[in-house]
Amino acid sequence: MVLYSIASGSSGNCIYVGLNNTKLLIDTGISAKRIEEGLNSIDLSLSDIDAVLITHEHSDHISGLKTVSKKHHLPLYATRGTLQEINKKNPDIDTALFHEIKCDREFTLKDILIDPIRISHDAAEPVCYRFYSASCFDRALRDRCESAAVCTDLGTYDDYIVDKLSGVSSILLEANHDIKMLEAGPYPYYLKRRILGEKGHLSNDCAGELLSELYNKGNLRSVLLGHLSKENNYAALAFETVRMQLNMLCGGQRERKLNINIALRDAPVKPIYA
């Protein structure tokens, strides 16, 4: 399974997930032109995509959806709350393309099994997604299955999130901000409180703590740190903060190789694999 970040950040998000005969987009928060160019760089195009999965209705996750839907008529999967908000914001999108999903209720698209995971964010009914091969439908086989996840825009995490992501092989995880940079930065007070709140965004430190829990549970091999703030973070800081957290919380022993890279705001990055 391949996980490929075309763009990740507050200015727009679009992630490709593919396996054998199934090709999916997670969010369309950038222009259709940029999505097409990103797909072209891995020898794909929008005409190859089977469906779009939306995490939530904020503009940096759906701004390109109207054009993509109108031109390519792709099935659109999201929770009821998200679909309702999309319809309010983009009433021209054909609702015949809408497919309602529910948190914690797995569904399959061709040969990918998808688990929508409830997250804490200031949106109608936001989710992140975990992906398995459809051959792993039997839960008894899950520990032996490779899987990938896209998990951004969560203000906090808890045992539920850890359990839902436990055993994941590859993940794009939010590392939105450095707390000290945000607190000392130019954002107005209300926006700082929103970002730091439980329905805001995950900090570098929290991303490192969550990854440490997942790493200690086994299987985790590849990480993309995503949704980095342009104003309150930078790639080297996010990477180093997460690396230090992993070394500290994993007992200083990283016997299994763990690749950590940064998903860029304005350009695709090298794909990672589960």
Give the pLDDT score at 254: 53
* Closest to 195 (Cα-Cα) out of 145, 151, 231: 231
For the chain (274 residues), the mean pLDDT of every run of 10, in chain order, is 96 96 97 98 97 98 96 97 98 97 96 97 97 81 84 97 96 98 96 96 97 91 96 96 90 68 96 92
Ordered structural domains, the chain, with CATH: 2-273 (3.60.15.10)
Q: What is the DSSP string of 16-80?
A: EEEETTEEEEE---S-HHHHHHHHHTTT--GGG--EEE-S--SHHHHTTHHHHHHHH---EEEEH
Q: Return the amino acid letter for 68.
A: V
Give the pLDDT score at 11: 92
- DSSP state at residue 211: H
Give the pLDDT score at 257: 73
Give the pLDDT score at 240: 96
The pTM assigned to this predicted structure is: 0.95
Residue whose token pair is 């369309």: 28
